[in-house]
Structure 1
Amino acid sequence: MRPAVEIAVQDAEGAATARANGADRVELCAALGVTGGLTPSAGLLDAVCAVGIDVHALIRTRPGGFVYSDAEVDVLAADVAAAVRLGARGVVIGALHADGTVDAGATGRLLAAARDAEQRAGRRIDVTFHRAIDAAADPIAALTVLAGLGVDRVLTSGGAARAGDGLDVLRALVAADTGVEVMAGGGVTAEAIPAIRGTGVHAVHLSAKRSVRDRGVAGPGGGAASDLEMTDAGLVRAATRAAHRP
Protein backbone atom coordinates (compact mmCIF):
# COMPACT_ATOMS: atom_id res chain seq x y z
CA MET A 1 0.00 0.00 0.00
CA ARG A 2 1.18 3.51 -0.82
CA PRO A 3 0.80 5.56 2.37
CA ALA A 4 -0.02 9.25 2.14
CA VAL A 5 2.62 11.74 3.30
CA GLU A 6 1.61 14.55 5.64
CA ILE A 7 4.11 17.28 6.51
CA ALA A 8 3.73 19.37 9.66
CA VAL A 9 4.37 22.98 8.64
CA GLN A 10 4.28 26.36 10.34
CA ASP A 11 4.02 28.80 7.45
CA ALA A 12 3.03 29.23 3.80
CA GLU A 13 6.61 28.74 2.63
CA GLY A 14 6.67 25.35 4.35
CA ALA A 15 3.38 24.37 2.73
CA ALA A 16 4.69 25.38 -0.69
CA THR A 17 7.85 23.33 -0.10
CA ALA A 18 5.77 20.31 0.91
CA ARG A 19 3.56 20.66 -2.18
CA ALA A 20 6.49 21.09 -4.57
CA ASN A 21 8.23 17.98 -3.25
CA GLY A 22 5.40 15.48 -3.41
CA ALA A 23 3.58 15.65 -0.08
CA ASP A 24 -0.11 14.79 -0.12
CA ARG A 25 -1.21 17.26 2.54
CA VAL A 26 0.04 19.39 5.42
CA GLU A 27 -0.84 19.76 9.05
CA LEU A 28 -0.60 23.43 9.99
CA CYS A 29 0.36 24.45 13.50
CA ALA A 30 2.24 27.15 15.38
CA ALA A 31 5.17 26.85 17.81
CA LEU A 32 5.82 23.24 16.81
CA GLY A 33 9.30 22.72 18.24
CA VAL A 34 8.64 24.54 21.51
CA THR A 35 5.19 23.21 22.37
CA GLY A 36 4.49 20.26 20.08
CA GLY A 37 2.13 22.49 18.09
CA LEU A 38 -0.68 24.97 18.76
CA THR A 39 -3.65 26.33 16.79
CA PRO A 40 -2.49 28.56 13.91
CA SER A 41 -3.78 32.11 13.64
CA ALA A 42 -6.54 33.04 11.20
CA GLY A 43 -4.14 35.00 9.00
CA LEU A 44 -1.67 32.13 8.87
CA LEU A 45 -4.35 29.59 8.04
CA ASP A 46 -5.73 31.80 5.28
CA ALA A 47 -2.26 32.21 3.74
CA VAL A 48 -1.46 28.50 3.86
CA CYS A 49 -4.82 27.44 2.40
CA ALA A 50 -4.01 29.68 -0.59
CA VAL A 51 -0.93 27.56 -1.41
CA GLY A 52 -2.99 24.85 -3.11
CA ILE A 53 -2.40 21.79 -0.93
CA ASP A 54 -4.88 20.18 1.47
CA VAL A 55 -4.46 21.79 4.89
CA HIS A 56 -5.39 20.12 8.16
CA ALA A 57 -5.35 22.58 11.05
CA LEU A 58 -4.18 21.56 14.51
CA ILE A 59 -6.74 22.62 17.11
CA ARG A 60 -4.87 22.92 20.41
CA THR A 61 -5.06 26.16 22.35
CA ARG A 62 -2.29 25.51 24.86
CA PRO A 63 0.69 23.26 25.52
CA GLY A 64 0.54 20.57 28.19
CA GLY A 65 -1.80 17.65 28.64
CA PHE A 66 -5.07 16.85 26.92
CA VAL A 67 -7.58 17.12 29.78
CA TYR A 68 -9.80 20.12 29.03
CA SER A 69 -12.44 22.08 30.92
CA ASP A 70 -15.83 22.78 29.37
CA ALA A 71 -14.73 26.37 28.73
CA GLU A 72 -11.63 25.17 26.91
CA VAL A 73 -13.70 22.81 24.76
CA ASP A 74 -15.94 25.74 23.83
CA VAL A 75 -12.87 27.58 22.48
CA LEU A 76 -11.58 24.48 20.70
CA ALA A 77 -14.96 23.98 19.02
CA ALA A 78 -15.01 27.61 17.90
CA ASP A 79 -11.52 27.16 16.44
CA VAL A 80 -12.69 24.05 14.56
CA ALA A 81 -15.48 26.05 12.94
CA ALA A 82 -13.14 28.95 12.14
CA ALA A 83 -10.52 26.69 10.57
CA VAL A 84 -13.07 25.13 8.22
CA ARG A 85 -14.52 28.53 7.38
CA LEU A 86 -11.03 29.73 6.38
CA GLY A 87 -10.51 26.78 4.03
CA ALA A 88 -9.04 23.90 6.03
CA ARG A 89 -9.81 20.46 4.59
CA GLY A 90 -9.31 18.80 7.95
CA VAL A 91 -8.94 19.45 11.66
CA VAL A 92 -6.73 17.70 14.19
CA ILE A 93 -8.16 17.30 17.68
CA GLY A 94 -7.79 15.27 20.86
CA ALA A 95 -9.10 15.11 24.44
CA LEU A 96 -8.57 12.65 27.28
CA HIS A 97 -9.76 12.04 30.80
CA ALA A 98 -7.21 12.14 33.61
CA ASP A 99 -7.20 8.32 33.73
CA GLY A 100 -5.93 8.11 30.13
CA THR A 101 -9.23 7.16 28.50
CA VAL A 102 -10.70 9.10 25.59
CA ASP A 103 -12.90 11.98 26.67
CA ALA A 104 -15.78 10.97 24.44
CA GLY A 105 -17.89 13.95 25.50
CA ALA A 106 -15.30 16.56 24.56
CA THR A 107 -14.21 14.70 21.45
CA GLY A 108 -17.83 14.31 20.40
CA ARG A 109 -18.40 18.06 20.77
CA LEU A 110 -15.40 18.81 18.57
CA LEU A 111 -16.53 16.26 16.01
CA ALA A 112 -19.99 17.80 15.99
CA ALA A 113 -18.44 21.22 15.38
CA ALA A 114 -16.48 19.77 12.46
CA ARG A 115 -19.52 18.08 10.93
CA ASP A 116 -21.61 21.22 11.30
CA ALA A 117 -18.85 23.26 9.65
CA GLU A 118 -18.57 20.59 6.95
CA GLN A 119 -22.26 20.98 6.13
CA ARG A 120 -21.98 24.76 6.01
CA ALA A 121 -18.87 24.63 3.81
CA GLY A 122 -20.31 21.99 1.47
CA ARG A 123 -17.12 19.93 1.41
CA ARG A 124 -15.81 16.86 3.22
CA ILE A 125 -13.77 17.61 6.37
CA ASP A 126 -11.36 15.01 7.75
CA VAL A 127 -11.09 14.71 11.53
CA THR A 128 -7.83 13.37 12.94
CA PHE A 129 -7.30 12.49 16.61
CA HIS A 130 -3.76 13.62 17.37
CA ARG A 131 -1.02 12.13 19.51
CA ALA A 132 -3.12 12.36 22.62
CA ILE A 133 -3.68 8.70 21.77
CA ASP A 134 -0.05 8.07 22.70
CA ALA A 135 -0.91 9.16 26.24
CA ALA A 136 -3.93 6.83 26.36
CA ALA A 137 -3.88 4.00 28.87
CA ASP A 138 -4.98 1.45 26.24
CA PRO A 139 -4.47 2.57 22.61
CA ILE A 140 -6.59 -0.21 21.12
CA ALA A 141 -9.49 0.60 23.42
CA ALA A 142 -9.03 4.29 22.60
CA LEU A 143 -9.10 3.53 18.88
CA THR A 144 -12.33 1.57 19.30
CA VAL A 145 -13.97 4.51 21.08
CA LEU A 146 -12.78 6.91 18.39
CA ALA A 147 -14.17 4.66 15.67
CA GLY A 148 -17.55 4.71 17.38
CA LEU A 149 -17.47 8.49 17.54
CA GLY A 150 -16.69 8.80 13.84
CA VAL A 151 -13.09 9.97 13.84
CA ASP A 152 -11.46 9.48 10.43
CA ARG A 153 -7.81 9.06 11.42
CA VAL A 154 -5.42 8.82 14.36
CA LEU A 155 -1.88 10.20 14.50
CA THR A 156 0.35 8.01 16.63
CA SER A 157 3.91 6.91 17.26
CA GLY A 158 2.66 3.65 18.70
CA GLY A 159 3.28 5.11 22.15
CA ALA A 160 7.04 5.35 21.58
CA ALA A 161 9.24 8.43 21.45
CA ARG A 162 9.75 7.67 17.75
CA ALA A 163 7.32 5.87 15.48
CA GLY A 164 10.13 3.64 14.27
CA ASP A 165 10.29 2.21 17.80
CA GLY A 166 6.53 1.69 18.09
CA LEU A 167 6.09 -0.75 15.21
CA ASP A 168 4.36 -3.48 17.22
CA VAL A 169 1.66 -1.11 18.48
CA LEU A 170 1.25 0.46 15.04
CA ARG A 171 0.77 -3.01 13.59
CA ALA A 172 -1.80 -3.85 16.26
CA LEU A 173 -3.73 -0.63 15.63
CA VAL A 174 -3.90 -1.41 11.91
CA ALA A 175 -4.89 -5.04 12.60
CA ALA A 176 -7.76 -3.87 14.81
CA ASP A 177 -9.48 -2.93 11.53
CA THR A 178 -11.80 -0.36 13.10
CA GLY A 179 -12.24 1.66 9.91
CA VAL A 180 -10.11 4.48 11.35
CA GLU A 181 -6.97 5.27 9.34
CA VAL A 182 -3.70 4.93 11.24
CA MET A 183 -1.08 7.60 10.51
CA ALA A 184 2.41 7.06 11.93
CA GLY A 185 4.06 10.19 13.29
CA GLY A 186 6.70 11.13 15.81
CA GLY A 187 10.39 11.24 14.94
CA VAL A 188 9.72 9.86 11.45
CA THR A 189 12.65 9.97 9.02
CA ALA A 190 12.94 8.82 5.44
CA GLU A 191 15.19 5.99 6.61
CA ALA A 192 12.54 4.73 9.04
CA ILE A 193 9.66 4.83 6.55
CA PRO A 194 10.22 1.40 4.90
CA ALA A 195 9.88 -0.36 8.27
CA ILE A 196 6.91 1.82 9.20
CA ARG A 197 5.25 0.98 5.88
CA GLY A 198 5.59 -2.68 6.79
CA THR A 199 3.05 -2.23 9.60
CA GLY A 200 0.34 -1.38 7.06
CA VAL A 201 -0.23 2.22 8.19
CA HIS A 202 -2.28 4.41 5.90
CA ALA A 203 -0.07 7.52 6.15
CA VAL A 204 3.16 8.88 7.58
CA HIS A 205 3.56 12.27 9.24
CA LEU A 206 6.77 14.22 9.79
CA SER A 207 7.97 17.78 10.22
CA ALA A 208 10.91 17.48 7.79
CA LYS A 209 12.35 20.63 9.30
CA ARG A 210 15.77 22.18 9.74
CA SER A 211 16.93 25.02 11.96
CA VAL A 212 18.31 28.31 10.68
CA ARG A 213 19.84 31.21 12.60
CA ASP A 214 17.41 33.92 13.60
CA ARG A 215 18.79 37.22 12.34
CA GLY A 216 16.47 39.16 14.63
CA VAL A 217 17.16 40.52 18.08
CA ALA A 218 15.28 39.27 21.11
CA GLY A 219 14.49 41.67 23.91
CA PRO A 220 12.58 41.95 27.18
CA GLY A 221 9.20 40.34 26.74
CA GLY A 222 10.21 38.79 23.44
CA GLY A 223 11.69 35.56 24.71
CA ALA A 224 15.20 34.24 24.33
CA ALA A 225 16.93 34.23 20.97
CA SER A 226 16.75 30.86 19.27
CA ASP A 227 17.02 29.21 15.88
CA LEU A 228 14.03 29.24 13.54
CA GLU A 229 12.44 26.11 12.07
CA MET A 230 11.96 25.77 8.31
CA THR A 231 10.57 22.97 6.15
CA ASP A 232 13.47 21.32 4.29
CA ALA A 233 12.83 20.44 0.64
CA GLY A 234 15.36 17.61 0.63
CA LEU A 235 13.84 15.95 3.69
CA VAL A 236 10.33 16.19 2.23
CA ARG A 237 11.53 14.78 -1.08
CA ALA A 238 13.33 11.87 0.60
CA ALA A 239 10.28 11.05 2.70
CA THR A 240 7.85 11.11 -0.21
CA ARG A 241 10.16 8.90 -2.28
CA ALA A 242 10.39 6.38 0.56
CA ALA A 243 6.64 6.40 1.14
CA HIS A 244 5.58 6.30 -2.51
CA ARG A 245 8.11 3.78 -3.72
CA PRO A 246 6.33 0.70 -5.20
Structure 2
Amino acid sequence: MILEICANSYQSAKNAQTAGAKRIELCSELSIGGTTPSYGLITKVIHELDIETFVLIRPRSGNFYYTDAEFEIIKKDIQICKDLGCHGIVSGLLNEDNTIDLKRTRELIELSKPLPFTFHRAFDVVPNTNTALEQLIDLGVERILTSGQQHKAINGLKTLKELNKQAKNRIIILSGSGISSKNAKAFKEAGFDEIHSSASKVIITETSNYFGNTPQTVSSVKEIKAILKVIADEV
Protein backbone atom coordinates (compact mmCIF):
# COMPACT_ATOMS: atom_id res chain seq x y z
CA MET A 1 0.00 0.00 0.00
CA ILE A 2 1.32 3.42 -1.01
CA LEU A 3 1.18 6.35 1.40
CA GLU A 4 0.99 9.80 -0.17
CA ILE A 5 1.62 12.71 2.18
CA CYS A 6 -0.09 16.04 1.62
CA ALA A 7 2.88 18.33 2.26
CA ASN A 8 2.17 22.02 2.87
CA SER A 9 5.78 23.20 3.18
CA TYR A 10 9.39 22.29 2.52
CA GLN A 11 9.68 20.92 6.06
CA SER A 12 6.62 18.73 5.57
CA ALA A 13 8.05 17.40 2.30
CA LYS A 14 11.40 16.72 3.95
CA ASN A 15 9.69 14.97 6.86
CA ALA A 16 7.74 12.78 4.43
CA GLN A 17 10.97 11.72 2.76
CA THR A 18 12.74 11.13 6.07
CA ALA A 19 9.86 8.99 7.37
CA GLY A 20 9.77 6.84 4.24
CA ALA A 21 6.58 7.93 2.47
CA LYS A 22 6.36 7.00 -1.20
CA ARG A 23 5.06 10.28 -2.57
CA ILE A 24 3.91 13.77 -1.66
CA GLU A 25 1.21 16.06 -2.94
CA LEU A 26 2.83 19.47 -2.57
CA CYS A 27 0.45 22.34 -1.83
CA SER A 28 -0.09 25.46 0.24
CA GLU A 29 -2.91 26.62 2.54
CA LEU A 30 -4.26 23.28 3.75
CA SER A 31 -6.76 25.09 5.99
CA ILE A 32 -8.73 26.17 2.91
CA GLY A 33 -8.44 22.89 1.04
CA GLY A 34 -5.06 23.57 -0.57
CA THR A 35 -3.84 25.89 -3.31
CA THR A 36 -0.94 25.90 -5.75
CA PRO A 37 2.40 26.17 -3.92
CA SER A 38 4.88 28.89 -4.83
CA TYR A 39 7.50 28.60 -7.53
CA GLY A 40 10.19 28.86 -4.87
CA LEU A 41 8.75 26.00 -2.80
CA ILE A 42 8.33 23.70 -5.80
CA THR A 43 11.87 24.43 -6.98
CA LYS A 44 13.43 23.76 -3.57
CA VAL A 45 11.57 20.47 -3.10
CA ILE A 46 12.37 19.19 -6.60
CA HIS A 47 16.04 20.22 -6.50
CA GLU A 48 16.87 19.21 -2.92
CA LEU A 49 14.67 16.18 -2.18
CA ASP A 50 14.32 12.81 -3.87
CA ILE A 51 10.73 11.97 -2.96
CA GLU A 52 8.21 11.61 -5.79
CA THR A 53 6.43 14.96 -5.98
CA PHE A 54 2.96 15.61 -7.37
CA VAL A 55 1.87 19.26 -7.28
CA LEU A 56 -1.61 20.59 -6.57
CA ILE A 57 -2.72 23.08 -9.21
CA ARG A 58 -5.57 25.11 -7.77
CA PRO A 59 -5.41 28.90 -8.17
CA ARG A 60 -7.72 29.79 -5.27
CA SER A 61 -10.03 28.45 -2.61
CA GLY A 62 -13.78 28.13 -3.09
CA ASN A 63 -15.57 26.35 -5.90
CA PHE A 64 -13.99 24.48 -8.79
CA TYR A 65 -15.62 26.45 -11.62
CA TYR A 66 -12.97 28.72 -13.05
CA THR A 67 -12.99 31.79 -15.27
CA ASP A 68 -11.02 31.84 -18.52
CA ALA A 69 -8.33 33.89 -16.79
CA GLU A 70 -8.05 31.34 -13.97
CA PHE A 71 -7.92 28.51 -16.48
CA GLU A 72 -4.96 30.18 -18.17
CA ILE A 73 -3.23 30.44 -14.79
CA ILE A 74 -3.82 26.71 -14.18
CA LYS A 75 -2.32 25.83 -17.56
CA LYS A 76 0.70 28.06 -16.98
CA ASP A 77 1.30 26.49 -13.56
CA ILE A 78 1.15 22.97 -15.05
CA GLN A 79 3.74 23.92 -17.65
CA ILE A 80 5.99 25.38 -14.95
CA CYS A 81 5.74 22.14 -12.97
CA LYS A 82 6.68 20.11 -16.03
CA ASP A 83 9.64 22.38 -16.74
CA LEU A 84 10.84 22.08 -13.13
CA GLY A 85 10.80 18.29 -13.22
CA CYS A 86 7.78 17.49 -11.06
CA HIS A 87 6.51 13.92 -11.18
CA GLY A 88 2.74 14.41 -11.39
CA ILE A 89 -0.11 16.91 -11.53
CA VAL A 90 -3.13 17.14 -9.20
CA SER A 91 -5.99 19.30 -10.45
CA GLY A 92 -9.61 19.33 -11.54
CA LEU A 93 -12.35 21.43 -13.11
CA LEU A 94 -16.11 21.43 -12.73
CA ASN A 95 -18.99 23.11 -14.50
CA GLU A 96 -21.30 25.50 -12.66
CA ASP A 97 -23.60 22.58 -11.79
CA ASN A 98 -20.60 20.67 -10.30
CA THR A 99 -20.45 18.10 -13.08
CA ILE A 100 -17.04 17.37 -14.58
CA ASP A 101 -15.86 19.98 -17.09
CA LEU A 102 -14.89 17.39 -19.68
CA LYS A 103 -13.52 19.73 -22.33
CA ARG A 104 -11.17 21.72 -20.13
CA THR A 105 -10.16 18.76 -17.95
CA ARG A 106 -9.16 16.89 -21.11
CA GLU A 107 -7.05 19.89 -22.10
CA LEU A 108 -5.27 19.84 -18.74
CA ILE A 109 -4.60 16.11 -18.99
CA GLU A 110 -3.10 16.53 -22.46
CA LEU A 111 -0.99 19.45 -21.28
CA SER A 112 0.24 17.43 -18.28
CA LYS A 113 1.47 14.50 -20.37
CA PRO A 114 3.67 12.53 -19.92
CA LEU A 115 3.07 13.22 -16.22
CA PRO A 116 0.26 11.27 -14.49
CA PHE A 117 -2.84 13.28 -13.65
CA THR A 118 -4.76 13.01 -10.37
CA PHE A 119 -8.26 14.48 -10.24
CA HIS A 120 -8.53 16.13 -6.82
CA ARG A 121 -11.33 16.45 -4.30
CA ALA A 122 -13.53 18.46 -6.63
CA PHE A 123 -14.82 14.93 -7.13
CA ASP A 124 -16.37 15.12 -3.68
CA VAL A 125 -18.99 17.64 -4.81
CA VAL A 126 -20.07 16.03 -8.10
CA PRO A 127 -23.80 15.15 -8.15
CA ASN A 128 -23.26 11.60 -9.44
CA THR A 129 -20.04 9.82 -8.48
CA ASN A 130 -20.70 6.79 -10.66
CA THR A 131 -21.08 8.88 -13.81
CA ALA A 132 -18.11 11.09 -12.90
CA LEU A 133 -15.92 8.06 -12.28
CA GLU A 134 -16.61 6.66 -15.76
CA GLN A 135 -16.00 10.07 -17.32
CA LEU A 136 -12.61 10.42 -15.63
CA ILE A 137 -11.62 6.92 -16.72
CA ASP A 138 -12.53 7.81 -20.30
CA LEU A 139 -10.45 11.00 -20.04
CA GLY A 140 -7.37 9.04 -18.99
CA VAL A 141 -7.10 10.24 -15.39
CA GLU A 142 -4.74 7.99 -13.41
CA ARG A 143 -6.27 8.44 -9.94
CA ILE A 144 -9.02 10.23 -8.04
CA LEU A 145 -8.37 11.77 -4.62
CA THR A 146 -11.62 11.47 -2.70
CA SER A 147 -13.10 11.18 0.77
CA GLY A 148 -16.21 9.44 -0.51
CA GLN A 149 -18.06 12.76 -0.43
CA GLN A 150 -17.78 12.99 3.37
CA HIS A 151 -15.78 15.39 5.52
CA LYS A 152 -13.57 12.50 6.63
CA ALA A 153 -12.71 9.48 4.49
CA ILE A 154 -13.48 7.04 7.30
CA ASN A 155 -17.10 8.27 7.19
CA GLY A 156 -17.17 7.83 3.43
CA LEU A 157 -15.65 4.35 3.49
CA LYS A 158 -18.79 2.65 2.19
CA THR A 159 -18.90 4.94 -0.86
CA LEU A 160 -15.15 4.61 -1.34
CA LYS A 161 -15.41 0.82 -1.43
CA GLU A 162 -18.25 1.04 -3.96
CA LEU A 163 -16.15 3.35 -6.15
CA ASN A 164 -13.14 1.05 -5.87
CA LYS A 165 -15.30 -1.88 -6.93
CA GLN A 166 -16.69 0.07 -9.88
CA ALA A 167 -13.18 1.18 -10.91
CA LYS A 168 -12.10 -2.46 -11.51
CA ASN A 169 -8.43 -1.44 -11.64
CA ARG A 170 -9.12 1.02 -14.47
CA ILE A 171 -8.32 3.99 -12.22
CA ILE A 172 -6.84 4.35 -8.73
CA ILE A 173 -9.13 5.45 -5.92
CA LEU A 174 -6.88 7.44 -3.58
CA SER A 175 -8.69 7.72 -0.25
CA GLY A 176 -7.93 10.89 1.67
CA SER A 177 -9.08 13.28 4.42
CA GLY A 178 -8.53 12.56 8.07
CA ILE A 179 -6.60 9.32 7.54
CA SER A 180 -4.19 8.63 10.38
CA SER A 181 -2.41 5.81 12.16
CA LYS A 182 -5.63 5.29 14.12
CA ASN A 183 -7.79 4.40 11.10
CA ALA A 184 -5.41 3.55 8.23
CA LYS A 185 -5.86 -0.17 8.83
CA ALA A 186 -9.51 0.08 7.77
CA PHE A 187 -8.45 1.21 4.31
CA LYS A 188 -5.83 -1.52 4.06
CA GLU A 189 -8.43 -4.14 4.99
CA ALA A 190 -10.89 -2.64 2.49
CA GLY A 191 -8.46 -3.35 -0.34
CA PHE A 192 -7.22 0.11 -1.30
CA ASP A 193 -3.79 0.34 -2.91
CA GLU A 194 -3.10 3.95 -1.91
CA ILE A 195 -4.03 6.37 0.86
CA HIS A 196 -3.47 10.10 1.30
CA SER A 197 -2.76 11.85 4.60
CA SER A 198 -1.31 15.13 5.85
CA ALA A 199 -0.12 13.37 9.04
CA SER A 200 -0.09 16.83 10.57
CA LYS A 201 0.87 18.09 13.97
CA VAL A 202 0.08 21.62 15.11
CA ILE A 203 2.79 24.00 16.22
CA ILE A 204 1.75 27.04 18.24
CA THR A 205 4.14 29.97 18.17
CA GLU A 206 3.89 33.05 20.33
CA THR A 207 3.80 36.28 18.35
CA SER A 208 4.09 39.86 19.53
CA ASN A 209 1.80 41.41 16.93
CA TYR A 210 -1.95 41.61 16.39
CA PHE A 211 -2.12 38.10 14.88
CA GLY A 212 -1.86 36.59 18.36
CA ASN A 213 -1.07 32.88 18.58
CA THR A 214 -0.65 31.68 15.02
CA PRO A 215 -0.97 27.91 14.55
CA GLN A 216 1.28 26.17 12.05
CA THR A 217 0.84 22.62 10.80
CA VAL A 218 3.61 20.35 9.61
CA SER A 219 3.63 16.71 8.52
CA SER A 220 4.99 14.68 11.42
CA VAL A 221 7.81 12.15 10.94
CA LYS A 222 6.47 10.20 13.92
CA GLU A 223 2.91 10.01 12.56
CA ILE A 224 4.03 9.12 9.03
CA LYS A 225 6.14 6.28 10.40
CA ALA A 226 3.18 5.15 12.50
CA ILE A 227 0.90 5.03 9.46
CA LEU A 228 3.52 3.12 7.49
CA LYS A 229 3.78 0.55 10.29
CA VAL A 230 0.02 0.09 10.32
CA ILE A 231 -0.28 -0.47 6.57
CA ALA A 232 2.71 -2.81 6.63
CA ASP A 233 0.88 -4.89 9.27
CA GLU A 234 3.70 -4.35 11.75
CA VAL A 235 1.40 -3.28 14.57
TM range (shorter): over 0.9
Q: Deviations over 1:97-131 (max 9, x none)?
A: 1222111112112112101xx3xxxxxx1210001
So what's the TM-score if we normalise by structure 2?
Answer: 0.93
Give the alignment of 1:122-133 within 5 angstroms.
Answer: 125-133=115-123
| 2:183 counterpart residue number | 192
The one-letter code matched in structure 2 to 1:235 is: E
The offset of 1:198, in angstroms, is 2.6
Given the superposition, is the C-alpha separation of residues 218 and 105 from structure 1 closer, same or farther in structure 2, using an over 3 Å criterion?
A: farther
2 CA distance for matches of 1:141 and 1:78? 29
- Letter paired with 1:186: S
Mapping 1:98-113, distance limit 5 Å: 98-113=96-111
Matched, 1:209 2:197: no
**Cα contact 1:170–1:201 (8 A) shared by 2:** no
Q: CA deviation at 1:202?
A: 2.1
2:38 is the counterpart of 1:48: no
Q: Please give the alpha-carbon distance, in whole angstroms, between the structure 1 residues aligned to 2:196 and 2:148.
A: 13
Q: CA deviation at 1:158?
A: 0.7
Contact 2:3 2:196 in 1 (8 A): yes
Query: Cα 1:218–1:206, aligned 2, differ >3 Å: closer, same or farther?
Result: farther
Tell me which amino acid in the other structure corresponds to 2:145.
L
CA contact (8 A) 2:78 2:112 kept: yes
**Residue 234 in 1 paired to residue 222 in 2?**
yes
Q: In 1, distance between residues paired with 2:174 and 2:53?
A: 16
CA distance in 1, matches of 2:85, 2:209: 33
Size of the aligned set, in residue pairs, is 232
The 8 Å contact of residues 73 and 110 in structure 1, kept in 2 or not, is answered as: no
1:177-205 deviation per Cα after TM superposition (whole angstroms, max 9, x unaligned)? 26110100011111211112233222110
Q: Aligned letter for 2:40?
A: G
Pair 1:157 & 2:137 matched: no
Secondary structure (helix, strand or coil) at the match of 1:183 reads strand
State the alpha-carbon separation in 2 of the partners of residues 143 and 37 from structure 1. Answer: 22
- 1:84, 1:239 → 2: CA distance? 30
3-state SS of 1:111 partner: helix
C-alpha separation in 2, matches of 1:151 and 1:23: 23
Residue in 2 that maps onto 1:122: none
- The alpha carbon displacement at 1:5 in A equals 0.2
| Aligned residue type for 1:169 | T
Equivalent in the alignment of 1:92: 90
Q: 1:140 to 1:80 in 2, by over 3 A?
A: same
Query: What's the RMSD between the two structures over aligned residues?
Result: 1.6
Q: What SS is found at the alignment partner of 2:214?
A: coil
CA offsets 1:21-79 (integer angstroms, 9 cap, x no match): 1210001001112x111101111001111211001100001000111122211110110
Structure 2 residue ranges without an equivalent (≥5): none
Gaps of 5+ in 1: 119-124
Q: Which has the higher mean CA deviation after the structures are superposed, 194-203 or 24-33?
A: 194-203
Q: Distance in 2 between matches of 1:75 and 1:136?
A: 23
Identity %: 31
